[in-house]
């Protein structure tokens, strides 16, 4: 069943909570069925992402390509919608105030704030990829000219030099002006944050505290912080609401980790060592498979210092190196065989630019949608907690 269909089926089944509060003691079997469905849907979605990526072009899109990342973000959006339905829809607020769920939700909302930070960093990274695309388009425009002369090769060589410099940037030196246009230290709930969360939501909810990205901001440290306090539910917790909170936390961590690995972000060193997902969960099998594959690629990336694992950027880097060799050894008139080889590489580079043109903006829009979705969900959870506290009798 397609993801959108089984999501609608799931939301339809859980919508009975709108008119009837389900208490764990009163309808335990029904609650367990909902939790089981959430696990199964999560596992199915990630299994679809992992299915035969090596069979490209027959499978649709290659692993870690722009189109694959768009599917990955869509999976997170679908999981987030179902998670919110499980946690909030028709829920008696007093249920989520019981320990350990109250503490787990506080940790979860802190992770959500870090997701917002990373969403903005990834969106900025997409902008940097678009600059690489523009440089590659200059190369294509110059080398598509017939006949290719010294002027065209010099123009292409200049653009190629800038392109290769951008594609081999060191993460530790990414405090570049293009990464320093904005920061993402979002307001957190508390007495020092200035008003209650409803007031903050009215005025933009998560407001940047500074207009310049801090030099010590680290995508890797954000991922590491998201993994802190991420403990496997045990005992009675494993069959209650702690379970979907744990699943959704792992889903958020993995998707953010994959995006940071693929898209240029500030300071990503040691990214492959920052989290592990327990293997005993059925929903985790496909995530672990993708995690292992990305981790191996990341280790190669760190050795050669390339800007990211995005499939289009990897191909662009290889083509750029080949075209630089051609430009460095160019003598007019070039041999016909050499020109044919160059034409094939230029056509491939043009195809990559086209895929970037078609996919980068929708990917960036999805990231923004995710950002706003997380803000709304976080506010709704805070509202539920506040309502639960307000309904408790004063002793």
pLDDT tens digit sequence for 239-259: 788 999 999 999 999 999 999
Find the angle CA(100)-CA(106)-CA(108) to the nearest 5 degrees.
100
Find the angle CA(267)-CA(366)-CA(242) to the nearest 5 degrees.
80
Longest dimension (CA), the chain: 92
For 244-305, the DSSP string reads HHHHHHHHHHHHHHHHHHHS--S--TTGGGS----TT-GGGHHHHHHHHHHHHHHHHHHHHT
pLDDT tens digit sequence for 368-385: 999 999 999 999 988 888
User: 182 φ, ψ to 5°?
Assistant: -160, 155
Give the count of beta carbons closer than 10 Å to the beta carbon of residue 381: 19
Residue 192 DSSP SS3: coil
**Nearby residues of 130 by Cβ (< 8 Å), 6 or more positions away:** 356, 360
| Stronger pLDDT, 266 or 188, i.e. the higher one | 266
**Average pLDDT value over all residues in the chain:** 80
**Distance in angstroms (rounded) separating the CA atoms of residues 150 and 153:** 5
What confidence score (pLDDT) does residue 1 get? Answer: 47
The answer to whether residues 348 and 54 touch, using CB atoms and an 8 Å cutoff, is no
What confidence score (pLDDT) does residue 371 get? Answer: 97
Is the bond preceding residue 174 a cis peptide, omega within 30 degrees?
A: no
What confidence score (pLDDT) does residue 146 get? Answer: 87
pTM: 0.84
Residue 360 pLDDT grade (very low, low, confident, very high; cuts 50, 70, 90): very high
Sign of CA dihedral 127, 129, 134, 135: positive
The answer to whether residues 388 and 96 touch, using CB atoms and an 8 Å cutoff, is yes
Query: 59-73, 126-140, 332-346: which has the highest mean pLDDT?
Result: 126-140
The answer to whether residues 82 and 76 touch, using CB atoms and an 8 Å cutoff, is no
Give the count of beta carbons closer than 10 Å to the beta carbon of residue 221: 16
Report whether pLDDT(109) > 70: yes
User: 42 φ, ψ to 5°?
Assistant: -60, -50
Please report which residue ranges of the chain form alpha helices under DSSP H.
3-14, 28-50, 66-88, 101-143, 150-167, 197-202, 219-227, 242-262, 285-304, 311-328, 336-391
The answer to whether residues 167 and 313 touch, using CB atoms and an 8 Å cutoff, is yes
**Distance in angstroms (rounded) separating the CA atoms of residues 364 and 362:** 5
Interior/surface letters 40-50, b for 16+ CB within 10 angstroms, e for the rest: ebbbebbeebe
pLDDT tens digit sequence for 22-43: 444 446 778 888 899 999 999 9
Report whether pLDDT(213) > 80: no
**Distance in angstroms (rounded) separating the CA atoms of residues 86 and 38:** 8
**Distance in angstroms (rounded) separating the CA atoms of residues 252 and 374:** 10
User: 26 φ, ψ to 5°?
Assistant: -85, -30
Residue 139 DSSP SS3: helix
């Amino acid at each position: 069943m397609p993801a959108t269909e089984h999501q609608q089926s799931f939301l339809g089944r859980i919508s009975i909570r709108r008119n009837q509060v389900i208490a764990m003691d009163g309808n335990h079997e029904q609650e367990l069925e909902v939790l089981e469905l959430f696990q199964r849907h999560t596992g199915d979605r990630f299994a679809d992402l992992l299915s035969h990526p090596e069979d490209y072009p027959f499978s649709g899109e290659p692993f870690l390509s722009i189109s694959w990342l768009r599917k990955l973000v869509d999976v997170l959006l679908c999981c987030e919608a179902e998670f919110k339905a499980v946690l909030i829809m028709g829920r008696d607020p007093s249920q989520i105030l019981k320990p350990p769920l109250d503490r787990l939700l506080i940790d979860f909302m802190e992770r959500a704030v870090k997701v917002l930070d990373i969403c903005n960093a990834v969106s900025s990274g997409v902008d940097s990829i678009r600059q690489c695309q523009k440089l590659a388009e200059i190369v294509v425009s110059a080398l598509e000219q017939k006949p290719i002369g010294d002027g065209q090769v010099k123009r292409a060589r200049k653009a190629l030099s800038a392109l290769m410099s951008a594609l081999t940037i060191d993460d530790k030196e990414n405090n570049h002006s293009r990464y320093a246009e904005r920061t993402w230290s979002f307001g957190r709930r508390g007495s020092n944050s200035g008003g209650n969360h409803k007031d903050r939501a009215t005025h933009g909810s998560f407001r940047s505290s500074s207009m310049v990205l801090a030099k010590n901001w680290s995508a890797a440290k954000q991922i590491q912080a998201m993994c802190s306090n991420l403990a496997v539910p045990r005992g009675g917790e494993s069959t209650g609401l702690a379970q979907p909170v744990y699943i959704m936390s792992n889903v958020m961590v993995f998707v953010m980790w994959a995006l940071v690995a693929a898209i240029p972000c500030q300071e990503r060193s040691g990214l492959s060592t920052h989290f592990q997902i327990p293997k005993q969960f059925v929903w985790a099998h496909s995530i672990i498979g993708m995690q292992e594959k990305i981790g191996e690629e990341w280790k190669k990336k760190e050795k050669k210092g390339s800007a990211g694992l995005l499939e289009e950027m990897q191909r662009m880097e290889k083509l750029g190196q080949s075209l630089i060799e051609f430009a460095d050894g160019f003598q007019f008139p070039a041999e016909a065989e050499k020109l044919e080889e160059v034409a094939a590489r230029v056509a491939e580079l043009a195809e990559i630019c086209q895929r970037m043109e078609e996919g980068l903006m929708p990917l960036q829009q999805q990231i923004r949608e995710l950002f706003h979705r997380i803000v709304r969900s976080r506010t709704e959870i805070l509202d539920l907690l506040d309502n639960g506290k307000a309904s408790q009798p004063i002793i």
